[in-house]
Each structure stands twice: as structure tokens, then as C-alpha cells.
Amino acid sequence: MFPWVYGFEWHAGYLIFLGVFFTVALVVAGTVLVALWRSFRTVQKKQEGRVYWHTAFEELTPEERRCRHAITGELPGRCCDQEFDCRGCRMHARLQFSEEAAAEAAETEVCGVAVPLDRLYHRGHTWVRELEDGTLEVGLDDLGRRLLGEDGRVELPAPGTEVRVNEPAFLVRRNGVEARVLSPVDGTVLGPAENGALVRVRPAEGFRTVHLLRDGEAVAWMRHEVDRLQMALAAASGGATLADGGAVPQDLGRALPRREYDTVCGLAFLDV
């Protein structure tokens, strides 16, 4: 019984009842408020990732936003308007890889940069490979690895972290330079991986890989990337080169001055 109810009397039994009631009420209210705050922070964090990539994509030049089918020669001059997420692109759904791109599928090296064709490639220089158990391995491609070098470090997301396509998932550190690396997949991080990969991921339900590059188009894209970065580097420094003597150095962090290295990292990992 409560004080505002007729017949209430102040005595020990009522006081104990009121104490227990309001304690339980406060605990329930506190639990609800904490849950709401955590939900708000989770939603806010997800929105931050989406907003970051939307802003970064808008800052890319038309040359940097070239459609994958423009790179292979199927649609010359076409720019991507889907933020490199082909899963929602009607044009991509109607197109098949060109015969020229398919014919190049045996090529696995561009200016010394390896392009293994047993995996799929994201335009932020990561790769994805499906394992027999249905999980995915994610790693840096060979150009990304050369940017990292022997002295570089990668900050990995903790197991249980949800990652989403085109949202920051990793952080590369080298020579005082930091660059965010975008996730090529939707899913949950299971932990560090082996065999040259960074992490193993359980893909989200219904996840599709149609936005990732494969076979001959991956080779064509890597060739385009080396040319793009070389031109950007030449414009920024006037002297430094990406592919010295026709081959990209194994450790770009040592081969390039810090300012030029910072430029190439930002452009390669799409951290603009």
C-alpha cells in the first residue's frame, strides 16, 4: 500500500514494502536506461561508419571513382555512382566480364605486384577468400602489404566486432602515418587468421560478394591502381616514383619519403 492510498499507515511493514518496491523500480529503470544508451551508441557508431565512407567517396576524383567495367574496357568513361558497392547496381547485374578481361585471367603480376586469382579483391586493397567451413579470410593485397612493410603494424578489430562493407575496419600504422582500411565484407570477426590473412570473419546472413573484383578484372584494376598512384605521386612530388625500374618496391615505407608515403597510403586505402 502507498502513502497516497486511503488507509495507509506509517509502520515498519509498510516502510519495508516501500523500500523494496522503490529499489526494484530503480533497478528496472536503471537497466532500461543503460540498454537504451547502449543501443543509441551502437546505432551512432554504425552511422559514423556510413557517414565516413559517404563523405570520403564524394571527395574522390572522377578518375578514382571509375567503374570496374570502365577499368576492364566494357564501359569506357563510366564513373561509379554506388560508392563501390555493386550489390545495388543494376548495370553491374546486367553485365558480364568482357572477353578481354577473361583472356587476361592467367596474368597474376602487375609491375611485380602479385595478384593471386584464388581470391576476391576490394578497391581499398584488401582481399577475401572463402574457406570450406563458409567463413571468410580477409587480408591486405600485395600492394597494401608493400605499403605496410616490415615495420608497419595493423590494428585488428576484436573478436565479436561487426564489420560492414566500405566502413573502416582496420588501422595501418607506419612511419608516423595512420590510414584506415575499409572492410570488404559484412559479418562478425571471429579472430586473427593465418596464411597471410588478417582476420577470419563469419559472413552476415545473405551476404553477397558481387561488389568484389575477380579474375581478369582484378588484374586490370591493379594495373589501373599502379598507374593512378604513380601519377598522383608524380604530381605531388615531381620526383618520387612508385614503380622504380618498372617494379614496385617490396617496402614502400622505406622507398618513399614520409610525405609521399602518406599520400600513397591515403589514396591506396581510400582514406582521403
The proportion of the chain whose per-residue pLDDT surpasses 90, expressed as a percent, equals 48
Number of domains comprising the chain: 2
| The pLDDT of residue 43 | 54
Q: Are residues 25 and 109 in the same domain?
A: no
Global model pTM greater than 0.85: no
CB 156 within 8 A of CB 170: yes
Q: Are residues 80 and 30 in the same domain?
A: no
pLDDT higher than threshold 60 for residue 270: yes
Q: pLDDT-based confidence at 246, cuts 50/70/90?
A: confident
Distance from C-alpha of 36 to C-alpha of 155, rounded to nearest angstrom:
29
Q: Are residues 169 and 256 in the same domain?
A: yes
Task: Phi first, then psi: give them for residue 155, nearest 5 degrees.
Answer: -85, 115
| The pLDDT of residue 100 | 45
CATH assignment at residue 207 = 2.40.50.100
Q: Are residues 100 and 128 in the same domain?
A: yes
Q: Are residues 43 and 122 in the same domain?
A: no
Distance from C-alpha of 222 to C-alpha of 116, rounded to nearest angstrom:
11
Torsion of CA 133, 219, 167, 269, to 10 degrees: 130
| The pLDDT of residue 1 | 52
| The pLDDT of residue 114 | 94
Q: Read off the pLDDT of each residue in 113-137 and give the average, rounded to a whole number.
A: 96
Q: What is the mean pLDDT of the chain?
A: 84
Q: Are residues 153 and 230 in the same domain?
A: yes
Distance from C-alpha of 266 to C-alpha of 59, rounded to nearest angstrom:
12
Q: Are residues 35 and 129 in the same domain?
A: no
pLDDT higher than threshold 70 for residue 99: no
Q: Strand (E) positions, 15-152?
A: 109-110, 113-114, 120-122, 126-130, 136-140
| The pLDDT of residue 30 | 79
Helices (runs of H) and strands (runs of E) counted in the chain: 8, 11
| The pLDDT of residue 52 | 81
- Reference 227, options 245, 237, 242, 244; nearest CA is 242
CB 115 within 8 A of CB 109: yes
pLDDT higher than threshold 90 for residue 5: no
Distance from C-alpha of 45 to C-alpha of 215, rounded to nearest angstrom:
34
Q: pLDDT-based confidence at 20, cuts 50/70/90?
A: confident
Encode pLDDT of 136-164 as tens digits: 999 999 999 999 998 899 999 999 999 99
Strand partners, 221: none
Strands of 136-140's sheet, edge to edge?
Answer: 120-122, 126-130, 136-140, 199-203, 187-192, 162-163
Last residue of a domain, one of 59, 82, 98: 59
pLDDT higher than threshold 70 for residue 51: yes
pLDDT higher than threshold 50 for residue 268: yes
Distance from C-alpha of 99 to C-alpha of 96, rounded to nearest angstrom:
9
| The pLDDT of residue 264 | 92
| The pLDDT of residue 152 | 93
Q: Are residues 251 and 137 in the same domain?
A: yes
- Helix pair angle (215-237, 258-268), 10° resolution: 150
pLDDT higher than threshold 50 for residue 102: no
Which residues span the domain enclosing 94? Answer: 60-268
| The pLDDT of residue 98 | 46
Encode pLDDT of 213-229 as tens digits: 998 899 999 999 999 99
Q: Are residues 21 and 108 in the same domain?
A: no
Q: Are residues 98 and 127 in the same domain?
A: yes
Q: pLDDT-based confidence at 101, cuts 50/70/90?
A: very low
| The pLDDT of residue 141 | 97
